[in-house]
């Protein structure tokens, strides 16, 4: 009996060792979660396996963190462990506690250095010993490769989203944020982005923040459509930011052929002249702006209308509300011509996007364009009001109580993504000589066009002295930063060939919260089950074994 037991033991041991030796020659991982939480995408595996040098990742999620952030920390660590499997030794990471220093002066200096490197802190509130406490957290990371580095923000904070859902969205975005940074740092050639000028577009200072950010991974330059005849050879993307003057027919032809031949364009268009700059004595008349692009947009599959939206979900302006002695008293009042957009489509470009700031946003419709896919990207809130121009705009409107009955237009699209093989607006309109000189094509390659019905979406504010720019999306009145820059960077990545990676933004992790009411009411039942069930199973096992032994040996 004893020898038989020893033999069985050695056979089992030899089998286990043999399987381990054999399996060392094969690599596989099994993810049993429903949404494949721990499975990297093929594009991520491809990027990681092609690394030719080490990538260092410093994650600033360590120390005494609230439970929700500890979950984000755990998910980040699990993801980074998974990347090391495919990148071998080329992924190195460390978790750092920014609050580790007890010296306040050194701590403030360290915080400033993190801000200079592109990481912004977040104030969170937590309960400790029954008291509400405020903590500063840097929910981000720095990715470094061959002396270059990029900051990434791991925390998504969409407006109107519950904290638990925001943290869940943050977990969904870990793979995209990290892999996007690695791909940008390891890219061997910078793609070119042209900013069209010559029609009163935004100045260099007005788009300085986005230019500086783009220049970290792309090459940017100004484009004159009259002089550039090889746009498709020189630029992967064109950006047209708030033109105020008309495009000539020759410039429109150059733009038309660039799109037809596979070029991508992002338009930031104001169809009206509404602006605070034009409010003389606190009021002005908003009128239509004719930029001579109406027929081109129609051919692309959309139409920009001479209208303005007011939105109950909006930014604020400081207004004088009274006097105290000789001193005017100001107060921040809602300015409904400055919508805060937080309604986005499920498209990867805008999925889980935080709120963005708009100014005098217009309306946009689609029209028939055969073979073109039209995807709305962002919408006003359900409390919107459409105003046709010409229309009077008066600062005193901010001091009036709005009538809810007027805000009945609901959620309206203010941006569209247009994709497909576009047909030229100039088909059968050119002489053979002109057509030959520009190598005219009526239709050719697939292209992508994004149209925003707001020219200010890409514009950063400027300090009152007019010498320096503020960060894009930063509201100097509320001291909050909105996600304008993230939105534009996502669009640029998608347009410049990053569509294979940006689909990672579509990854979904189901939030499975505990039913607290049910857990409380059934607490005693489940406690009893957890205590008694293991004991009962043990008793059943012992009785069964005893009965089998009696049958076999008779005792």
pLDDT at 517: 61
Residue, of 503 and 531, whose pLDDT is higher? 531
Gap between the Cα atoms of 299 and 256, Å rounded: 10
pTM of the predicted structure, to 2 decimals? 0.77
pLDDT grade for 27, boundaries at 50, 70 and 90 = low
Q: Assign domain 33-184 to a CATH class.
A: alpha beta
pLDDT at 500: 67
Average pLDDT over residues 198-206: 95
pLDDT at 187: 80
State the chain's mean pLDDT as an integer: 85
Residue, of 82 and 555, whose pLDDT is higher? 82
Gap between the Cα atoms of 163 and 169, Å rounded: 10
Gap between the Cα atoms of 98 and 497, Å rounded: 36
Average pLDDT over residues 93-97: 92
Please say whether the dihedral angle defined by the alpha carbons of residues 17, 18, 24 and 28, taken in this order, is positive or negative. Answer: negative
Whether residue 37 is predicted with pLDDT greater than 80 in this model: the reply is: no
Whether residue 282 is predicted with pLDDT greater than 50 in this model: the reply is: yes
pLDDT at 99: 84
Please enumerate in sequence order all residues whose Cβ is within 8 A of that of 136, keeping only pairs 6 or more positions apart, or say none: 98, 99, 111, 121, 122, 123
Torsion angle of the four alpha carbons 160, 165, 166, 171, in this order, in degrees rounded to the nearest 10:
-160
pLDDT at 330: 84
State what percent of residues in the chain have pLDDT above 90.
Answer: 41
Average pLDDT over residues 459-465: 90
Whether residue 327 is predicted with pLDDT greater than 50 in this model: the reply is: yes
Gap between the Cα atoms of 16 and 161, Å rounded: 50
Gap between the Cα atoms of 354 and 369, Å rounded: 31
Gap between the Cα atoms of 109 and 355, Å rounded: 30
Which two three-digit tokens encode residue 228?
């550039």
Whether residue 14 is predicted with pLDDT greater than 60 in this model: the reply is: yes
Which two three-digit tokens encode residue 146?
């061959």
Instruction: List the single range of 7-11, 48-52, 363-367 with lowest mean pLDDT.
Output: 7-11
Burial label for 42, CB within 10 Å (0-12, 13-18, 19+), is exposed
Average pLDDT over residues 196-216: 94
pLDDT at 107: 85
pLDDT grade for 36, boundaries at 50, 70 and 90 = low
pLDDT at 258: 96
Whether residue 29 is predicted with pLDDT greater than 70 in this model: the reply is: no
Taking alpha carbons only, the member of 173, 142, 143, 141 closest to residue 157 is: 173
* pLDDT tens digits, one per residue of 355-405: 999 999 999 999 999 999 999 999 999 999 999 999 989 888 888 888 888
Peptide bond preceding 222 in cis form (omega within 30 of 0): no
pLDDT at 444: 92
Whether residue 514 is predicted with pLDDT greater than 70 in this model: the reply is: no
Which two three-digit tokens encode residue 144?
């470094």
Whether residue 6 is predicted with pLDDT greater than 90 in this model: the reply is: no
Whether residue 555 is predicted with pLDDT greater than 70 in this model: the reply is: no
DSSP per-residue codes, 388-407: ESSEEEEGGGGGSPP-GGG-
DSSP per-residue codes, 478-528: TTEE-SHHHHHHHHHHHHTTTHHHHGGGG---------HHHHHHTHHHHHH
pLDDT at 272: 93
Long-range contacts: 469-472, Cβ < 8 Å, 24+? 469/205, 469/206, 469/208, 469/209, 470/209, 471/209, 472/209, 472/210
Taking alpha carbons only, the member of 241, 254, 253, 276 closest to residue 484 is: 241
pLDDT grade for 452, boundaries at 50, 70 and 90 = very high
Q: Which residue's structure tokens are 């912004």?
A: 120
pLDDT at 511: 46
Average pLDDT over residues 415-420: 96
Please say whether the dihedral angle defined by the alpha carbons of residues 394, 399, 405 and 409, taken in this order, is positive or negative. Answer: positive
Whether residue 3 is predicted with pLDDT greater than 70 in this model: the reply is: no
Residue, of 92 and 89, whose pLDDT is higher? 92
Q: Which neighbouring-strand residues pair with 183? A: none
Strands (E), 312-370: 314-324, 327-341, 343-344, 356-357, 363-366
Which two three-digit tokens encode residue 304?
């920009």
Gap between the Cα atoms of 228 and 257, Å rounded: 12
Average pLDDT over residues 211-235: 89
Average pLDDT over residues 256-276: 94
């Amino acid at each position: 009996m004893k020898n038989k037991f020893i033999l069985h033991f050695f056979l089992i041991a030899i089998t286990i060792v043999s399987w381990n030796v054999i399996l060392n020659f094969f690599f596989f991982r099994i993810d049993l979660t429903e949404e494949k939480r721990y499975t990297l995408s093929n594009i991520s595996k491809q990027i990681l396996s092609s690394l030719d040098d080490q990538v260092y990742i410093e994650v600033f999620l360590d120390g005494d963190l609230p439970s929700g952030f500890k979950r984000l920390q755990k998910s980040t660590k699990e993801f980074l462990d998974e990347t090391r499997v495919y990148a071998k030794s080329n992924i190195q990471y460390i978790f750092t506690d920014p609050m580790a220093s007890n010296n306040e002066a050194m701590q403030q200096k360290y915080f400033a250095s993190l801000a200079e490197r592109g990481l912004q802190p977040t104030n969170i509130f937590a309960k400790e010993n029954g008291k509400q406490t405020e903590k500063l957290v840097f929910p981000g990371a720095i990715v470094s490769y061959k002396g270059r580095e990029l900051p990434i923000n791991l925390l998504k904070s969409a407006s109107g989203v519950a904290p638990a859902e925001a943290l869940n969205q943050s977990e969904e975005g870990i793979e995209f944020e990290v892999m996007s940074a690695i791909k940008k740092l390891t890219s061997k050639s910078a793609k070119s982005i042209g900013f069209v000028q010559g029609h009163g577009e935004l100045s260099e200072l007005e788009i300085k923040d986005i230019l500086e950010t783009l220049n970290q991974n792309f090459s940017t330059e100004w484009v004159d459509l009259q002089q550039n005849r090889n746009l498709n050879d020189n630029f992967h993307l064109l950006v047209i930011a708030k033109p105020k003057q008309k495009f000539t027919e020759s410039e429109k032809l150059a733009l038309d052929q660039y799109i037809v031949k596979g070029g991508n364009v992002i338009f930031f268009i104001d169809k009206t002249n509404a602006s605070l700059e034009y409010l003389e004595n606190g009021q002005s008349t908003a009128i239509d702006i004719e930029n001579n692009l109406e027929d081109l947009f129609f051919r692309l599959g959309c139409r920009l209308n001479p209208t303005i939206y007011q939105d109950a979900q909006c930014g604020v302006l400081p207004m004088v509300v009274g006097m105290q002695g000789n001193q005017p008293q100001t107060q921040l009042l809602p300015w409904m011509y400055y919508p805060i957009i937080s309604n986005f489509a499920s498209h990867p470009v805008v999925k889980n996007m935080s709120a963005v700031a708009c100014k005098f946003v217009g309306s946009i419709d689609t029209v028939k364009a055969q073979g073109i896919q039209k995807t709305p990207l962002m919408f006003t809130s359900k409390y919107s009001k459409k105003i046709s121009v010409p229309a009077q705009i008066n600062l005193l409107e901010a001091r009036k109580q709005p009538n809810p009955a007027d805000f009945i237009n609901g959620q309206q699209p203010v941006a569209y993504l247009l994709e497909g093989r576009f047909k030229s607006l100039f088909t059968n309109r050119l002489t053979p000589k002109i057509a030959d000189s520009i190598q005219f094509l009526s239709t050719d390659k697939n292209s992508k066009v994004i149209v925003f019905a707001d020219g200010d979406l890409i514009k950063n504010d400027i300090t009152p002295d007019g010498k320096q720019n503020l960060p894009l999306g930063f509201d100097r009145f509320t001291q909050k930063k909105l996600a304008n820059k993230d939105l534009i960077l996502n669009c640029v990545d998608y347009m410049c060939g990053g569509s294979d990676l940006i689909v990672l933004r579509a990854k979904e992790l189901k939030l499975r919260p505990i039913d607290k009411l049910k857990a409380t009411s059934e607490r005693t039942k489940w406690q009893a089950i957890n205590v008694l069930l293991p004991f009962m199973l043990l008793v059943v096992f012992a009785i069964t074994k005893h009965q089998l032994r009696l049958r076999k040996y008779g005792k």
